[in-house]
Amino acid sequence: MPEFPQATSRRELRERERAGELSRSRSQPGRRDRPNRARAVEKARPARSGSTPRSSARSVERRGSRARTIGSRLLSLAAMIFAAAFVVGVSLPANAFFSPSTDTASSLSSSSSKGGQSVAVSGDEKVDVGTRDTVQVLSWAQVLAQKYNTGAKVGGAGTGPVRWPFPYPVRISSGFGPRVAPCGGCSTYHEGVDMVPGDKAAIFASSTGVVTTRDAGDNGHYSSTYGNVVMITSTVNGHTVRFTYAHMTTGSSPLVLGQKVQVGDFIGLVGETGEATGPHLHFEVNVDGVTIDPIPWMTANAGPN
Please give the residue that has the higher pLDDT: either 24 or 1: 24
Q: How many residues does the chain have?
A: 305
Element (H, E) at 45: none
Residue 36 CA to residue 30 CA, distance in Å, equals 11
Question: Residue 264 pLDDT > 70, yes or no?
Answer: yes
- For the chain, give every domain's residue range: 10-42, 140-302
Averaged pLDDT, 196-201: 93
CA-CA-CA-CA torsion sign (242, 245, 250, 255):
negative
Residue 234 CA to residue 249 CA, distance in Å, equals 24
One DSSP character per residue, 168-194 reads S-EEEEE-SEE---SSTTS-SEESSEE
Q: Within 10 Å of residue 7's Cβ, how many Cβ atoms?
A: 13
User: Residue 94: CB partners within 8 Å, gap ≥ 6?
Assistant: none
pLDDT for the residue numbered 86: 80
pLDDT for the residue numbered 237: 92
**Fold that domain 140-302 belongs to in CATH:** Glucose Permease (Domain IIA) (2.70.70)
Q: pLDDT tier at 212 (50, 70, 90 boundaries)?
A: very high
Asked if 201 and 272 touch (Cβ cutoff 8 Å), the reply is: no
* Secondary structure of 109-153 in HEC code, one letter for each residue: EEEEEECCEEEEEECCCCCCCCCCCCCCCCCHHHHHHHHHCCCCE
Q: pLDDT tier at 239 (50, 70, 90 boundaries)?
A: very high
Phi, psi of 224, deg, nearest 5 = -145, 175
Q: pLDDT tier at 136 (50, 70, 90 boundaries)?
A: low
Question: Residue 223 pLDDT > 60, yes or no?
Answer: yes
Q: pLDDT tier at 161 (50, 70, 90 boundaries)?
A: very high
Averaged pLDDT, 45-56: 52
Q: Within 10 Å of residue 116's Cβ, how many Cβ atoms?
A: 5
* Secondary structure of 213-260 in HEC code, one letter for each residue: EEECCCCCCCCCCCCEEEEEEEEECCEEEEEEEEEECCCCCCCCCCCE
pTM (two decimals):
0.50
Q: pLDDT tier at 158 (50, 70, 90 boundaries)?
A: confident
CA dihedral 266, 269, 270, 272 (to 10 degrees): -140
pLDDT digits (tens, 9 = 90+) for 91-120: 666 655 555 544 444 444 444 444 555 555
